[in-house]
């Protein structure tokens, strides 16, 4: 079977050598090893050394020559805008404080639809609306941190509670601890393990 074991950054691979494309939503773009069927029918095995998020426009280098282009599929997302750059930055802080995958742009932020978060944002004065577009959120401080709220990483383990039911279980060497953030306004649970 044809293998793709290198990912080349968007703009860094020759478009003339494109053999096919693969269109995937964000939740299917965190991959290491999987058999895929490209949009034009090419069967290949993605076989990377480590799991990573495949980004819009990247080229998957095929071992028998050529590339498969990664296309981020349109998804139903929430577009967040504000009346000023300062207000948008404040909204980004609130979203970051909740560990949400977010695509930060100059004039808007994109997140997955979550009615509790949308209500919180409206309460903070944000303008929100549903849009259909590709989702390519920030990688986060831990590299692949934002690929999925339940991802494995691995270091020991600790737990922290955000004070209102927002619970995270993190793994790190050195045992456990907990802490609370009292400004969270929703009941949402997910786990993280970091390596």
Question: Within a 10 A sphere around the Cβ of 156, how many other Cβ atoms?
Answer: 13
The residue-averaged pLDDT of 59-88 equals 96
pLDDT digits (tens, 9 = 90+) for 103-148: 999 999 999 999 999 999 999 999 999 999 999 888 765 444 444 4
Checking if the pLDDT of 153 tops 80, the result is: no
Longest Cα separation, the chain: 55
**Among candidate residues 46, 71, 49, the one with its CA nearest the CA of residue 58:** 71
Instruction: Choose which CATH entry (3.30.70.790, 3.40.50.300, 3.40.50.2020, 3.40.605.10) describes domain 75-134.
Output: 3.30.70.790
Which homologous superfamily does the CATH classification assign to the domain defined by 3-72? Answer: Urease metallochaperone UreE, N-terminal domain (2.60.260.20)
Q: Give the distance from CA 97 to its chain's centroid.
A: 16
C-alpha to C-alpha distances, 73 to 25, 56, 58, 128, 184, nearest whole angstrom: 5, 9, 14, 21, 31
């Amino acid at each position: 079977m044809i293998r793709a074991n290198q990912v080349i950054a968007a703009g860094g691979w020759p478009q003339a050598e494109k053999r096919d494309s693969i269109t995937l939503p964000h939740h299917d773009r965190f991959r290491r090893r999987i058999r895929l069927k490209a949009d034009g029918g090419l069967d290949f095995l993605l076989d990377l050394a480590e799991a990573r998020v495949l980004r819009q426009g990247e080229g998957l280098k095929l071992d028998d020559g050529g590339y498969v282009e990664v296309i981020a599929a349109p998804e139903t997302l929430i577009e967040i805008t504000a009346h000023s750059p300062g207000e948008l930055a404040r909204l980004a802080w609130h979203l970051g404080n909740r560990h949400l995958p977010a695509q930060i742009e100059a004039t808007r932020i994109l997140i997955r639809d979550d009615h509790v978060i949308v209500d919180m944002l409206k309460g903070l004065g944000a303008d929100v609306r549903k849009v259909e577009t590709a989702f390519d959120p920030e990688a986060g401080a831990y590299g692949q941190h934002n690929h999925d709220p339940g991802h494995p990483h691995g270091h020991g383990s600790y737990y922290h509670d955000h004070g209102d039911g927002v619970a995270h279980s993190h793994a790190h060497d050195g045992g456990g601890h907990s802490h609370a953030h009292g400004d969270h306004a929703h009941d949402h649970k997910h786990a993280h393990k970091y390596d």
